[in-house]
C-alpha cells in the first residue's frame, strides 16, 4: 500500500521540526512537503542539520498532501488549516487556534477574532486518552496545549469519580523550549539560566482549555482552577504538581486511602500505551524524547488533599508526539505506530 503523503506547515519552529523528526521513523507515512518562512528554498538538512536524513526543500506553500500538521504561532493557523481541509486533507493543528469551543473565549484569551468560528464546533480536542473515539472520526483535531496535556491527564480520574472538591491548583514548571524558538528576553540564556520565575499570574492562555475539558468530566460542579506556570532552566519537559481537596468520606484514611487512589489511577489508565502510573514521583528527564506522560497520585494524609505529579516532554506528548498519536487514529493506523520509543536518559 502506498504511504500517506503528509505535509508540515512551519517546520522552522520547535514543534514543526519535532513532527518531522518523529515522522522519519513512521512506516506508513511519507513526509512529502514542509513549509517555513525563513528557510524557504533551502534544503531541510542544511537549515536543520539534525534532520539531514530527510531529503526535502523547504517551500513557501504545501504541495497537495493527504494529511497536514499545522504548527504556526497562534492566530496564523486558521487560514492554512481551512485551506487544507477544503483540499480534502485531514489536519491536526498544534496551536491554540481550534481548541476553544467558544469564539468569544478565543477572542478574550488570544486577543484576536476567530476568522472561521464554524470550525471550532467541528474540531475535536485531541487529548487522545479521553477523546479517542471522536479523534478517530475527526477531519480536524485541535492538539492540546503542552501544559493542559499533563494537567488534564493528572486529574481526569479523580474528577470523573467525583473524588475531589472543585477547587483545583496546577503548579507547572516548564523548560524553555515551551516558549518556542523565536527569541525573547526571558528565554535569553543570561535571563533563564540558574533562574526560576513564575509568569502569567493573571491567567495563561492554556487555562480556558483546561477548564473547558475538565468541566466535561465533572458536569455537575462549577470548577475553580488556578494555574501557575514557571519557567525553569532546562530545554524540554513540564512537571505539573496538581492539588485538590478530597471530598469527605470518599477515600479511606491514612495509607489505605493512598492505595485506593493509586488503584483508581491504575485502573483508569489500564492499557494506555503512553500514560504510566509510576511508583515514585516522576522526573521530567524520564520522559525526554518519548510520548510518555508519567503520573504519580498520592494523598497528603495530614490535609486530606489529593496530590498528583505529572511529567511530559512538552515537545512530544505535549505537542508533536500526541499529534502523531492523533494522526494514527485519524488514518486508521495503530495508535503507537512510529511512537514506540523510550526516553533519552540521562
Ligand atoms: N513549544 C512547545 O512546547 C509547544 C507545544 C505544543 C504546542 N505548541 C504550539 O505550536 C505552535 C508552534 O510553536 P513552536 O514552539 O514551534 O514555535 P516557535 O519555535 O517559536 O516557532 C515559531 C516559528 O514560526 C515562524 N513564524 C512566526 N510568525 C510567523 C508567521 N506569521 N508566518 C509564518 N511563520 C511564522 C518563525 O519562523 P521564522 O521567523 O524563522 O520564519 C518561527 O520559527 C504554536 O502555536 C505553539 O503554541 C508549542
| Cβ-contact 133, 97 below 8 angstroms | no
SS3 labels along 135-149: HHHCCEEECCCHHHH
Does 293 qualify as catalytic in the annotation?
no
Q: Is the CB of 174 under 6 A from ligand 1?
A: no
Assessment of whether the complete model's pTM goes beyond 0.85: yes
Domain with CATH 3.30.360.10 in the chain: 147-314
Task: Give tens-digit pLDDT for 99-140.
Answer: 999 999 999 999 999 999 999 999 999 999 999 999 999 999
Domain 4-122 has CATH 3.40.50.720: yes
Superfamily designation of domain 147-314: Dihydrodipicolinate Reductase; domain 2 (3.30.360.10)
Distance 11 CA to ligand 1 centre (A): 9
Domain with CATH 3.40.50.720 in the chain: 4-122
| Cβ-contact 328, 335 below 8 angstroms | yes
Task: Give tens-digit pLDDT for 187-231.
Answer: 999 999 999 999 999 999 999 999 999 999 999 999 999 999 999
| Cβ-contact 67, 29 below 8 angstroms | yes
Cβ neighbours of residue 220 closer than 8 Å, sequence gap 6 or more = none
Give the pLDDT mean for 312-328.
98
Q: Indicate which residue's Cα is closest to atom 46 of ligand 1.
A: 95
| Cβ-contact 333, 280 below 8 angstroms | no
Interatomic CA distance for residues 103 and 70, integer angstroms: 20
Amino acid at each position: 500500500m502506498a504511504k500517506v503523503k503528509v505535509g508540515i506547515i512551519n517546520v522552522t519552529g520547535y514543534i514543526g521540526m519535532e513532527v518531522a523528526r518523529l515522522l522519519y521513523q513512521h512506516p506508513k507515512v511519507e513526509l512529502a512537503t514542509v513549509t517555513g518562512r525563513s528557510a524557504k528554498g533551502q534544503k531541510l538538512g542544511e537549515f536543520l542539520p539534525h534532520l539531514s536524513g530527510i531529503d526535502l526543500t523547504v517551500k513557501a506553500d504545501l504541495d497537495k498532501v493527504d494529511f497536514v500538521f499545522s504548527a504556526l504561532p497562534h492566530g496564523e493557523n486558521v487560514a492554512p488549516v481551512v485551506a487544507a481541509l477544503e483540499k480534502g486533507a485531514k489536519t491536526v493543528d498544534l496551536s491554540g487556534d481550534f481548541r476553544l469551543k467558544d469564539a468569544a473565549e478565543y477572542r478574550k484569551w488570544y486577543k484576536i477574532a476567530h476568522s472561521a468560528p464554524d470550525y471550532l464546533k467541528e474540531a475535536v480536542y485531541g487529548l487522545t486518552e479521553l477523546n479517542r473515539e471522536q479523534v478517530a472520526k475527526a477531519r480536524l483535531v485541535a492538539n492540546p496545549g503542552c501544559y493542559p496535556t499533563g494537567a488534564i491527564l493528572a486529574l481526569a480520574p479523580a474528577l470523573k469519580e467525583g473524588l475531589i472538591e472543585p477547587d483545583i491548583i496546577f503548579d507547572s514548571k516548564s523548560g524553555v523550549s515551551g516558549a518556542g524558538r523565536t527569541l525573547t528576553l526571558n528565554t535569553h540564556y543570561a535571563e533563564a539560566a540558574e533562574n526560576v520565575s513564575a509568569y502569567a499570574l493573571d491567567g495563561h492562555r492554556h487555562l480556558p482549555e483546561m477548564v473547558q475539558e475538565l468541566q466535561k468530566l465533572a458536569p455537575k460542579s462549577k470548577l475553580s482552577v488556578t494555574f501557575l506556570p514557571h519557567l525553569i532552566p532546562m530545554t524540554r519537559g513540564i512537571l505539573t504538581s496538581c492539588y485538590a481537596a478530597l471530598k469527605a468520606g470518599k477515600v479511606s484514611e491514612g495509607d489505605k486511602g493512598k492505595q485506593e487512589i493509586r488503584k483508581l489511577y491504575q485502573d483508569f489508565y489500564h492499557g494506555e500505551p503512553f500514560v504510566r502510573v509510576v511508583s515514585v514521583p516522576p522526573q521530567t528527564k524520564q520522559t525526554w524524547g518519548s510520548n510518555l506522560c508519567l503520573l504519580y497520585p498520592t494523598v497528603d494524609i495530614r490535609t486530606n488533599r489529593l496530590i498528583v505529579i505529572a511529567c511530559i516532554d512538552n515537545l512530544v506528548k505535549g505537542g508533536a508526539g500526541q499529534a502523531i498519536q492523533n494522526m494514527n487514529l485519524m488514518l486508521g493506523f495503530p495508535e503507537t505506530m512510529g511512537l514506540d520509543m523510550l526516553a533519552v536518559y540521562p
